[in-house]
Chain A
Amino acid sequence: MKLFDKRYINLIKELSMAWFKIRDQRSVMGVLWSFLNPLLMTAILFFLFKSRLSTGSPENYFLYILIGTVTWNFFVMATSAGLVAIVNSPDMVKNVAFPKEILTLSAVGIFIIQHIFELAVVFILLAILRIGFSVQLIFLPVILVIQILLVAGLSLFLSSMCVFAFDMRHIWNVLTRMGFFVVPIFYSISSISPRFKWVIAMNPMSQIIIFLRDVLLYHRTPSLLNMALVFIFSLFVLISGYKFFKYYEDRMTEVV
């Protein structure tokens, strides 16, 4: 594939680094802000729902929520940044010959770096709260890969659609806001009535959060069948997203 050309890997690296630095400069607290955001969100949800869930709050409720917000945050931020990657750089798209998916993937790349930093915060809290770590951590890289496949694939879809339909970003904004409630971030999936449970369980993001909680919080092996299914699904999203993007790439260059 052309994308694995040395020049293009270098370009992804330089662009991600540049955009990361700019984002860092533009906010007063810099990178610190990106840690504070999920922590504050978690604190709010924690105090809101600590004693209000009908089934009682899960064990280690603060970390339970934090793992959810960090994972969901990564998904939303990365796909939203990927979405505007092409429409935000029309000059580059029109004047430089390169595979355009580089722009989308670089935008997503920043958030992969940030997500790893945020996971480090989760690790620190796991140590402080004496929950500790187990051998199940070997599944963590696999789950990360699943997340990256899913986010990259969706971003490729979204960024190409955004060129042709500029309101795509508003639609995605609304969808992700609704998604927050369809994913078990502050409640547990077992507290949902069986009639609606499947809606939440079928969602790959729910599954990813459940895997992460199994590995980090409960020190047990996640359902291997579910992991395989979500992996295949994410791979499918990436491949079809890439095909979709490539199919419209030429037209995109003219329109953007």
Chain B
Amino acid sequence: MEDIIEVNNISKRFILTAEPQTFFKIFKRFATARCSNYREIWPLKDLNFTVKKSEKIGLIGDNGSGKTTLARIILGIYRQTSGSLRVNGRVTGFLNLGIGMQRDLSVLENIYIFGAIMGLDRTEIKKKLNSIIDFSELRDFIYSPLRDLSTGMYGRLAFSIAKEVDSEILILDEVLGAGDTCFMEKCLGAFEGYKNSDKTIVVASHNIDLVERFCDKVLLLNKGKQIVFGPAKEVIDIYKRHEF
């Protein structure tokens, strides 16, 4: 199988400034050539792994272990500070679903907006419109403004649109929490459908059961360091026993 994501020695540094910057402060710093207070942190340190085509990869670790930062680097939102990354194929990320949706516009209009953000154009969405509305179970609401929807409905809508994206590589970051149990089952159903497809999928999640059920391999991160990358069962055992 061909390598679809190659991560070589990737590290990421953030520079954090203590206070918000203003034009005047920046100007003063230039004028006096003095550095303001800042500190640097390394949310990721020397990661090395390869993902092969159609593999399903889990990304686990405690809060602040660098899961989201890694997802953003693979997606090309952040650029790594050092190391190299190779991604073969179109990659789409589901981070924080529902980004860019407008509260004051109708559900229907938002389907087109969020679709555009996920890389689908009007004609593609028109073709899939029925399946999106049916899946989200929001047919009675398509002309009401988004602000009238509950948080759960909002998540359902976003997931229904996102699942229409047809990329070779999908990166999911903690997005399966939306909706009631019934909708969760439906999401997981759609998700199981992916399991046998040839899509390459990376899932960052705290839901260990889900990761165990769905993923072939798991990457365990702790404080930005790669603890272990290997078969799902073994890595999850290590994580559960806290042997790192």
Q: Which A positions have Cβ atoms within 8 angstroms of B?
A: 6-7, 10-11, 13-15, 18, 21-22, 25-26, 89, 91-92, 94-98, 161, 164-168, 171, 250, 253-254
The residue that B76 contacts in the complex, of A15, A21, A97, A171, with Cβ under 8 A, is: A97
Q: How far is the CB of A7 from chain B (nearest CB, A)?
A: 5
Please tell me which one of the listed residues A14, A25, A94, A161 contacts residue B116 in the complex, with CB atoms under 8 A apart. Answer: A14
Q: Which listed segment binds A: B99-107, B205-213, B232-240? A: B99-107
Q: Mark B110-154, 1 if CB is under 8 A from A, else 0.
A: 001101110101100000000000000000000000000000000
Q: Apart from A10-B122, A96-B99, A96-B100, what are 18 other A-B pairs with CB-CB below 8 Å?
A: A14-B113, A14-B122, A15-B113, A21-B105, A22-B105, A92-B99, A92-B117, A95-B93, A95-B96, A97-B91, A165-B21, A165-B26, A167-B24, A171-B23, A250-B79, A253-B77, A253-B78, A254-B78
**Does A96 lie within 8 Å of B23, measured CB to CB?**
no
Query: Are A91 and B113 in contact, CB atoms less than 8 angstroms apart?
Result: no
- Minimal Cβ-Cβ distance residue in B for A91: B99
Q: Report the 4 A-B pairs with minimum CB-CB distance, sorted nearest first.
A: A14-B116, A165-B23, A95-B95, A10-B121
What's the nearest-Cβ distance from chain A to residue B173, in Å? 9
Q: Knowing A91-B99, A165-B23, A167-B24 touch, does A18 contact B79 (C-beta < 8 A)? A: no
CA distance A238 to B15 in the complex (A): 29
- Which B residues are in CB contact (< 8 Å) with A10? 116, 121-122
- B contacts, CB < 8 Å to A: 14-15, 20-26, 72, 75-79, 91, 93, 95-96, 99-100, 102, 104-105, 109, 112-113, 115-117, 119, 121-122
Nearest chain B CB to A95 CB, angstrom units: 4
The answer on a CB contact under 8 Å between B102 and A18 is: yes
Contact of A97 with B22 in the complex, beta carbons under 8 Å? no
- Assembled-state Cα–Cα distance A100/B14 (Å): 19
23 of the cross-chain contacts (CB-CB < 8 Å) are A7-B119, A14-B122, A18-B105, A22-B102, A22-B104, A22-B105, A91-B100, A94-B77, A95-B95, A95-B99, A96-B95, A96-B99, A96-B100, A97-B76, A98-B117, A164-B26, A167-B23, A167-B24, A168-B23, A250-B78, A253-B78, A254-B14, A254-B15
With A7-B121, A22-B105 given, is the CB distance from A96 to B113 under 8 Å?
A: no
Residues in A neighbouring B24, C-beta threshold 8 A: 167
Name A25's contact: one of B72, B77, B78, B104 (CB within 8 Å). B104
Task: Name the distance in Å between B142's Cβ and chain A's nearest Cβ.
Answer: 16
In the complex, which residues of chain A have a beta carbon less than 8 angstroms from the beta carbon of B77? 94-97, 253
Contact residues of A: prevailing secondary structure: helix
Taken together as a complex, chains A and B put the C-alpha atoms of A92 and B100 apart, in Å, by 6
Instruction: Give the shortest distance, in Å, between B15 (CB) and chain A (any CB).
Output: 8
With A and B bound together, what is the CA distance between A96 and B95 in angstroms?
8
Chain B residues whose CB sits within 8 angstroms of the CB of A18 once the complex forms: 102, 105, 109, 113
When distances are taken between beta carbons in the complex, the residues of chain A under 8 Å from B102 are 18, 22
Contact of A89 among B72, B76, B100 (CB under 8 A): B100
A98 vs B116: C-alpha distance in the bound complex, in angstroms? 11
| Contacting residues, chain A, for B25 (C-beta < 8 A) | 165
A residues within 8 A CB of B22? 165-167
Q: In the complex, are the beta carbons of B117 and A11 less than 8 A apart?
A: yes
For B92, the closest partner residue in chain A by CB is A97
Q: Which residues of A contact B121 (CB under 8 A)?
A: 6-7, 10
Chain A's nearest CB lies how many Å from the CB of B88? 16
A14, B112: Cβ atoms closer than 8 Å: yes
Min CB–CB distance A119 → chain B (angstroms): 27
Counting chain B CB atoms within 10 Å of each CB, which of A89, A97, A164 scores highest?
A: A97
